[in-house]
Structure formats: C-alpha cells, structure tokens
Amino acid sequence: MTLPRTPSFRLDGRRALVTGASSGIGLGCAVALAEAGAHVTLAARGHAALNTLAEQIHAEGGLADTLTMDVADIAATEAAVAAHGPFDVLVNSAGLARHTPALDTTIADFDAVADVNLRGAYFLTRAVARGLIEAGKPGSLINISSQMAHVGGIERAVYCGTKHALEGFTKAMAIEWGRLGIRVNTICPTFIRTPLTEPTFANPERVKWIEDKIKVGRMGEVTDIMGAVVFLASDAAQMVTGTALLIDGGWTAG
C-alpha cells in the first residue's frame, strides 16, 4: 500500500501581495508567508514602516519588496496590481474601524469604513484575480474578515455590515473562479492585540465583554493568525474555497 502524503505548506517560487502589511495582522501574515518561502510584496499607505519590515525579512533570509498602496483609491490600486503582478497569493489585511452607536453613525464615517473594508477589498480581490486569469495561473486570495462578519457587536453596526458584505462577495467570487484554479477565502479573527484594537483593550467594560465571549480564556495574538494564512495560501488547502476560517477562540460557537 502506498501511503498518502501531506501536501506541502511551502510557498517557494510564489509571489504574495499583502496589504495592510505595515502593522498588526498584515505584518504577521507577511512574515509567515516569507517564512514559508514566498516572495512577499508589502503594501500599505505608509512607506517607512514597510521598508523597515522588508529589511527585517531580508535579514532573516526572506524575500520582500514594498509597494505604497491605498486600497480605497481603486484606480491606483488596479494600476499597481497590473504593473507589479500577477500575484499567486493575496492577503488583504487593509482595514478600518470607526465604532459608534448606530444612532450616532455619520455619513463620513460610514463611507470611510465602507471604502476600505468593502469597496477597496472587492476591487483589490478582483484586480489580483484578473491578473491570474490573464496569466492562466491558479491562486489563493485571502481577505482578512472578522468574527464580526458572523455576529453583531456593540457599537459596530458599520464594521459588521462591511465584514458581512465581504463574506458575501468572497463566496460569489469563489464560485465564479473555482474552475480556473483560483480559491477565495476569508480569515475571521476575534479581537487580536494590534495598534487598531488598542482603544478597545483600554476600555475595561469592553475587555470584560470580550473575555466573556472568548471560550479559550485569552485574547488573540497576531501569531494565532500566521499558521492559518500559510495553510490557505498553500497546496494543503487546494479543496478550500468560498469559506471562512474562524480564529475566534470559540466566540461564535456560543
């Protein structure tokens, strides 16, 4: 009998685009992909932090370059992806949160969050897919979503709305491009300690709410996301598309 072999988690020879790579989850994902052998293009609005990260990845033997990108600027994003792609892997970790009670939501805040979390994510994912289709290549497109794409949350109506929508277009795109070898998935973290979540962790009432919801008894860390992104990017996940990988410590199970 010939025993089956585990598909490789290695990403050698593949090019990955990681947006929101300058800090937090995006930074962790970029490091994880580089460790797995991918050549990572680090993208964000601020170039200085990207250069520092690229230098650190190089120092550890990885491959990385940088690209200044604001996903809310759709025309510029599409042009950048066309010029620098095709990318075998996309990790879209660019995100924005402006939390207020629903009655206090301003149109400006709604539009700002939707421009990044929904419009930006949609057209970025499409741009990377278009490059793969034109090159006749398979690929793995990963949007960083949230557990809040599956539940509601206090003062998070706009954020939840954009993340629920992201889940919807991810499923639709996965159906459209599956036979082309292009997989589209989301990663849905719980509250992860990052600069973006510092205001939440500074609020004792919010911390208690979070601790009551997370069943494993601790907050999430960036390292909790890193293995998941390598899995979805790799051949080990060839049968995984149109789905959400929840990394929520049991939040949504309850």
Cross-strand bridge partners of residue 143? 92, 186
Catalytic annotation present for 213: no
State the virtual CA torsion across 113, 120, 117, 14 in degrees, nearest 10. -150
Which residue in the list 137, 159, 208, 215 is annotated as catalytic?
159
Residue type, 78: E
- Tokens 């410590």, located at residue: 249
Cβ neighbours for 176, distance < 8 A, ≥ 6 positions apart: none
Report the first-to-last Cα separation within the chain, whole angstroms: 43
Ramachandran quadrant class, 101 (left: phi over 0; alpha: psi -120 to 50; beta: rest): beta
Catalytic annotation present for 215: no
Which residue in the list 163, 171, 208, 215 is annotated as catalytic?
163
Cα torsion 224, 225, 226, 232: sign: positive
Cβ neighbours for 108, distance < 8 A, ≥ 6 positions apart: none
Which residue, among 31, 151, 50, has the nearest Cα to 91 in the 3D structure? Answer: 31
User: Cis peptide before 4, with omega less than 30 degrees from 0?
Assistant: no
Q: What are the catalytic residues?
A: 159, 163
